[in-house]
């Protein structure tokens, strides 16, 4: 009986290869994002200050890259106003996550709570051993236990697939690009102008308006496909996709309540980290959504 429970050599080899591939992809995406922010800083620094501006921007980018790798998860938690989960009040959440993490072969993540009525959840952290799963008050009030369990399994899917580091850095990168837009706005005062090339108003305006757009594109690039992967992982982990599909349907039904809500810059920068984007109300805005459509996600889960 004991021997029959052991995985075959082929199964173990496949698991190991999948794990290594996920790690390689995570490192590659992380390196690409850090290279993008460095290039953007150098370009804007050179535009406004020539070589001296580029050197100053390189120093800023180096410090930011170091900080984003080691402290991006803490920055995201701070941006969200997250606090450690009260396990006395929400002990059932701790039990759910412990059960799911054990079944998934993951270390127990740290648990955080965001006191907001907006229903959502997210995962962050730079590795399996430094992972965090957070839930909002809204999602604990809106979902049934089995639906919340499905959402938590989805977030552990992000942990398992090593999505968190890339997405967390993308969140801080979005904030950094907003900083670049401000730098462009005040570039003349900061660097005293580019004596070599000279400043021009069209170029300055392009940087001011294109920088936030670039941040949005980066968020979209790292988000959409990974949501399908986390949905699939979560459904397999709990044995069915139906609770997760119902959770998505309930959150979609909650969106009309968000029509007049204006998200803060921090909420916008971290929208792609969330289980679903509650600020996308359809129409033209769906073209720039950080997540695939809820209808498509539900369709795949139920299929």
What digits encode the pLDDT tens for the residues 47-99?
767 777 777 777 776 776 666 667 768 888 998 999 999 999 999 999 999 99
**Structure tokens, 66:** 């170091």
pLDDT at 12: 42
Q: Does pTM top 0.75 for this prediction?
A: no
What digits encode the pLDDT tens for the residues 185-231?
665 444 444 444 445 565 566 556 666 666 665 555 555 678 898 99
Query: What are the extents of the domains in the chain?
Result: 12-302
* Site of tokens 């106003």: 81
Alpha-helical (H) ranges within the chain are 2-5, 9-80, 91-103, 137-142, 145-160, 164-185, 187-191, 201-238, 242-254, 265-269, 294-302
pLDDT at 3: 44
Distance CA 14, CA 12 (A): 5
Active site residue 155: yes
Q: Which listed residue (20, 147, 155, 196) is catalytic?
A: 155
Using the predicted structure, report yes or no on whether residue 8 has a pLDDT greater than 60: no
């Amino acid at each position: 009986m004991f021997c029959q429970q052991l995985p075959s050599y082929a199964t173990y080899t496949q698991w190991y290869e999948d794990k290594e591939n996920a790690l390689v992809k995570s490192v590659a995406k992380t390196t690409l994002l850090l290279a993008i922010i460095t290039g953007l800083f150098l370009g804007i620094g050179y535009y406004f200050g020539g070589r001296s501006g580029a050197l100053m921007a390189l120093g800023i980018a180096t410090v930011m890259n170091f900080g984003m790798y080691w402290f991006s998860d803490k920055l995201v938690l701070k941006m969200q106003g997250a606090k450690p989960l009260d396990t006395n009040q929400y002990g059932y959440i701790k039990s759910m996550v412990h059960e799911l993490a054990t079944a998934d072969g993951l270390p127990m993540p740290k648990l955080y709570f965001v006191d907001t009525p907006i229903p959502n959840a997210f995962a962050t952290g730079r590795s399996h051993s430094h992972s965090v799963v957070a839930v909002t008050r809204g999602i604990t009030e809106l979902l049934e236990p089995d639906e919340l369990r499905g959402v938590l399994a989805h977030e552990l899917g992000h942990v398992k697939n090593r999505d968190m580091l890339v997405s967390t850095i993308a969140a801080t990168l979005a904030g950094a690009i907003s900083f670049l837009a401000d730098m462009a706005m005040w570039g003349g005062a900061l660097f005293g102008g580019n004596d070599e090339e000279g400043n021009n108003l069209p170029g300055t305006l392009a940087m001011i308006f294109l920088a936030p757009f670039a941040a949005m594109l980066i968020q979209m690039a790292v988000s959409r496909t990974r949501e399908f992967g986390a949905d699939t992982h979560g459904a397999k982990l709990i044995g069915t996709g139906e609770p997760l599909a119902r959770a998505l349907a309930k959150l979609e039904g909650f969106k009309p309540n968000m029509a007049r809500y204006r998200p803060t810059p921090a909420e916008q920068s971290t929208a792609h980290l969330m289980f679903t984007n509650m600020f996308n109300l359809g129409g033209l805005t769906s073209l720039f959504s950080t997540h695939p459509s809820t209808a498509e996600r539900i369709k795949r889960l139920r299929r």
